[in-house]
Amino acid sequence: MRDDENHGRAHFIYGQCWSTRSESAALWRTPDKYHVRIAIDEDVLCNRIESAAQGNQFYIDKVTYDSSDEIKTRRDTFISKWRPHRGHRGSASEWFSEITSLLLEKRTDFDFEEELRIIIFDENGYLLWRKSQDPKIGVPLAERNDMPKLYGYKIDFNSDIHSILLHPELNKQEYQSQMAQINELGITVPVSKSQLYSRRRIFDTWGEKPISR
């Protein structure tokens, strides 16, 4: 997979990760407390991605979790098939369909994430790049200045996002500061602080009515 063509294709794959979990202690474990959780409906997200993809192939699917050995076996099979000396010269679309299954796998150690992954293959960009790069075959990718960097799509916070959750460990001053920044941006969707570490949350799980025997 280190030949120029297959390695070049890999530079035209873009991914983004979401979680289907509302929240968890592990997902809040970030370097600082100024990360937020935004919630969006999958249908809305799919529509935004489809519009941004501009006819390119894309997948939005849940990640599956398996053992390291099983994942390695499937990865090695893929690499072996697409090595140049094997003579398999399938289309870019075929290559992307096969590699996507590998990109939707993770070790069981991470199954707490309940991840939803977006994968886009900018085939149009790849084909244009491939055509223009014919004279440069053999030039290391790191030395090329014409590789893509980012692939973005637009989300309207006030119409697409339906809630924002702030870090559960924010103190009062940090919470007020972050709320002020959110208000300055004109964001009107519901915003609240996570109650993950609140004592009250323990009792909320029982409901409003006392337990009867």
Q: What is the band of 85 on the pLDDT scale with cuts at 50, 70, 90?
A: low
pLDDT at 12 over 70: yes
Amino acid occupying residue 4: D
pLDDT confidence of residue 84: 62
Does residue 150 or residue 102 have the better pLDDT? 102
Does residue 211 or residue 53 have the better pLDDT? 53
Pairing between β-strand 191-193 and β-strand 115-121 as defined by DSSP bridges = unpaired
- pTM of this prediction? 0.75
Mind listing the pLDDT tens digit for each residue in 122-134?
887 777 777 666 5
> Does residue 4 contact residue 138 with C-beta atoms inside 8 Å?
yes
* Pairwise CA distance, residues 79 & 9, whole Å: 14
pLDDT confidence of residue 70: 95
Mind listing the pLDDT tens digit for each residue in 15-65?
999 999 999 998 898 778 888 999 999 899 999 998 888 888 899 999 999
Question: 12: burial class by Cβ within 10 Å (0-12, 13-18, 19+)?
Answer: buried
Helix (H) or strand (E) holding 192: strand 191-193
pLDDT confidence of residue 145: 58
> Does residue 93 contact residue 122 with C-beta atoms inside 8 Å?
no
* Pairwise CA distance, residues 117 & 143, whole Å: 30
pLDDT at 148 over 70: no
Amino acid occupying residue 78: F
Strands (E), 84-141: 105-107, 115-121
Average pLDDT over residues 139-147: 55
Angle (nearest 5°) at CA 24 between 36 and 208: 100
Report the mean per-residue pLDDT for the chain.
81
Tokens describing residue 157: 């916070």
Q: What is the band of 207 on the pLDDT scale with cuts at 50, 70, 90?
A: very low
> Does residue 74 contact residue 139 with C-beta atoms inside 8 Å?
no
- What phi, psi does 37 have (nearest 5°)? -105, 125
pLDDT confidence of residue 2: 40
